[in-house]
Amino acid sequence: MSASTPGGCILGDVVPSGLRGFESALRPPATRFAALRREIASPSLSFLMEAHDGLSAKIVEEAGFRGIWASGLTMSAALGLRDSNEASWTQVLDVLEYMADATTLPILVDGDTGHGNFNNVRRFVRKLCERGLAGVCLEDKLFPKTNSFIGEGQPLADIEEFCGRIKAGKDSQLDDDFVLVARVEALVSGLGMEEALRRAEAYHRAGADAILIHSKQSTADEIFAFARHWANRAPLVIVPTMYYATPTALFREAGISTVIWANHLLRAAIVAMRETAARIRRDESLLRVEGQVASVKDIFRLVGNAELEQAEKRYLPARPTAAAIVLAASGGDPGGSGAGRPKCMVDIRGRSLLATLVGTLRESGIRDIAVVRGYGREAVRLGGVRMVDNDRHAETGEAWSLACAREAIRGETVLAYGDVLFRRYVLDSLLASGADAVLAVDASGGARRGPSPSLPDLVVADRRFSGHFLDDAPAHLRRVANDIPPEEACGEWMGLARFSARGAGWLREEIAALEAEGLLETADLPLLLTRLAARHPVQVLYFTGPCWLDVDTLGDLAEARNFG
């Protein structure tokens, strides 16, 4: 009587005779070992995709494949080495461990010849099992191996000696579902079909769970001939690197178990990296490249930064999170291109300047965000933030806008202009500072590359940026203004500041003092900060390089769209 699967499928009616004994693999797998056995044993055609490191393993899983081929060729090439066992088996094991940690998929390891004789195979298989690698493929060649596509008539291992390697591997596996695939190189070495079948039968009797029949012909004719003679005595695995034009439907008709796409992710990466490097070298710029490559945020997503943030919330001591106030009451588009649209709402690669800025604040853990709007306020909209209106934006300055949101100045507070972009590390550095009041300052001096409707907010501090990475002595603000002679300036304020709970108290007091003196309506933030620095220590944190952008002109807007 035939056994039935949970889905009602009669195993005895659908599983070829060579797959009997694999019925348990058709149930939902409990481990990665079982998952690989299910793929190899499946009566339908399965596919394994090449990966060569942790990141490519994640990409294979993201693409929807159910298993990974850890290619010896591409792992070696990614290390800058030849596919001739130049990478030691322990170096390969290190790469494999990163891959196993990076994905939940089962991994079939290209084990070359087993890195030596039966004794090396025993140790290698145990180490694979300990790291959750679900299977290994051993090829019947001599150590050190040479890639199958190099040269002709490569010598093969003695059949009995290679059978000993297979037995040693099976005796050493730590999980019953660990899969050992024996790779037959007789066709590649020109020894003919009879020798290939003789070797496959011997390896199957020695305990191999599946046979990989290899060919470097441009057609699959000899693969199909082998499959007819083999008649499903054990699952049959193929690598159609050379006969890539063969329709996949023919593999199904031939009863092939598993197709391995063996090296294509690395080959694609080489083309992309070569073209990108050449373009950057020619252009001496990132402008044409930035929109054609993966974003930094995509890298963060692939490697699981979100999970780390959640873990930090669970395991690190809770600390009060900072709030932020964004001043976005100023006038229209850079260059006047938006027909009355507020500057903070101009498009930056599919989302507004304000949304981009707020996104950076949120990436650093800031959730309580107030936006002061004024000009074209009906158009200033963004979910998840509080809007505060400056109804007198046309006749008042930045300090008045800040005063409109003074109720939000409670506890640790970040203050930002609404028309600036900055790298997250700039904000994170301010948040990590122990100062009660700290400004982000561009140590380059604020030089602009073209005409601007506004002058830079230049900074004078008690010490300049030394440029030495070991020099961490603090600098303190003396003055911020747009009329400071460039030769006297220590840098340009980026429009970004952070205040501790104590510093926020100082800020509220200075706003109240300006109000009492009748200066609040027309005061700008440079005046407010200069007055604050006369009463309290305000630290200057210097930055260099392209880490921020003030969006004032159409040129700035074009640059902002490539600011990733």
The predicted pLDDT at position 219 comes to: 96
Considering the entire predicted model, what is its pTM? 0.62
CATH of the domain at 532: 3.90.550.10
**363 with 480, same domain?**
yes
Q: Within 13 Å and on the Cβ side, how many CA atoms surround 365?
A: 19
CATH of the domain at 165: 3.20.20.60
Does residue 302 fall inside a structural domain?
Answer: no
Amino acid at 107: I
**357 with 259, same domain?**
no
The pLDDT tens digits of the residues spanning 276-292 come to 999 999 998 888 888 88
Q: Which of 219, 241, 263 is the last residue of a domain?
A: 263
The predicted pLDDT at position 11 comes to: 31
The predicted pLDDT at position 355 comes to: 92
SS3 track for 179-221: EEEEEECCCCCCCCHHHHHHHHHHHHHHCCCEEEECCCCCCCH
Does residue 109 fall inside a structural domain?
Answer: yes
The predicted pLDDT at position 150 comes to: 62
Does residue 58 fall inside a structural domain?
Answer: yes
What is the distance between the alpha carbons of residues 235 and 254, in angstroms, rounded to a whole number? 12
Give 522's DSSP letter: T
**368 with 480, same domain?**
yes
What is the distance between the alpha carbons of residues 80 and 94, in angstroms, rounded to a whole number? 15
**245 with 168, same domain?**
yes
Does residue 310 fall inside a structural domain?
Answer: no
What is the distance between the alpha carbons of residues 76 and 110, in angstroms, rounded to a whole number? 11
The predicted pLDDT at position 490 comes to: 93
The predicted pLDDT at position 466 comes to: 82
Q: Of 335, 302, 319, 409, which Cα lies nearest the Cα of 560?
A: 335
What is the distance between the alpha carbons of residues 74 and 58, in angstroms, rounded to a whole number? 16
What is the DSSP secondary-structure string of 477-522? EEEEESSS-GGG--EEEEEEEEE-HHHHHHHHHHHHHHHHTT-TTT
Query: Which tokens sit at 115?
Result: 């890195």
**125 with 224, same domain?**
yes
The predicted pLDDT at position 19 comes to: 44
**511 with 366, same domain?**
yes
**536 with 450, same domain?**
yes
Does residue 9 fall inside a structural domain?
Answer: no
The predicted pLDDT at position 473 comes to: 79
Q: Classify each residue of 521-540 as buried b or exposed e, where b means 16 or more C-beta atoms within 10 Å of its C-beta.
A: eebbbbbbbbbbbeebebbb
SS3 track for 380-401: CCCCCCEEEECCCCCCCCHHHH
Give 72's DSSP letter: H
Are 342 and 375 in contact by the 8 Å Cβ rule? The answer is yes
What is the distance between the alpha carbons of residues 167 and 169, in angstroms, rounded to a whole number? 5
Q: Which of 195, 229, 263 is the last residue of a domain?
A: 263
Does residue 53 fall inside a structural domain?
Answer: yes
Spell out, as residue ranges, where the chain has pLDDT lower than 50.
1-26, 338, 446-452
**180 with 248, same domain?**
yes
**258 with 378, same domain?**
no
What is the distance between the alpha carbons of residues 199 and 297, in angstroms, rounded to a whole number? 50
**502 with 435, same domain?**
yes
Identify the domain containing residue 173 by its residue range. 30-263
Does residue 12 fall inside a structural domain?
Answer: no
Are 371 and 401 in contact by the 8 Å Cβ rule? The answer is no
Q: Of 332, 308, 537, 303, which Cα lies nearest the Cα of 418?
A: 332
Query: What is the Cα 112 distance to its own chain's centre?
Result: 29
Q: Which residues contact 556 (CB under 8 A, 6 or more apart)?
A: 334, 549, 550
The greatest distance separating any two alpha carbons of the chain, rounded to the nearest whole angstrom, comes to 101
Query: What residues act catalytically?
Result: 83
Q: Which of 263, 283, 298 is the last residue of a domain?
A: 263
Q: Of 187, 262, 181, 167, which Cα lies nearest the Cα of 227?
A: 187
How many residues does the structure list for the chain? 564
What is the distance between the alpha carbons of residues 435 and 96, in angstroms, rounded to a whole number? 45
**222 with 324, same domain?**
no
Q: What's the number of domains the chain is made of?
A: 2
Does residue 46 fall inside a structural domain?
Answer: yes
Amino acid at 212: L
Are 374 and 390 in contact by the 8 Å Cβ rule? The answer is yes
**111 with 220, same domain?**
yes
Are 141 and 156 in contact by the 8 Å Cβ rule? The answer is yes
What is the distance between the alpha carbons of residues 215 and 240, in angstroms, rounded to a whole number? 8
What is the distance between the alpha carbons of residues 491 and 465, in angstroms, rounded to a whole number? 9
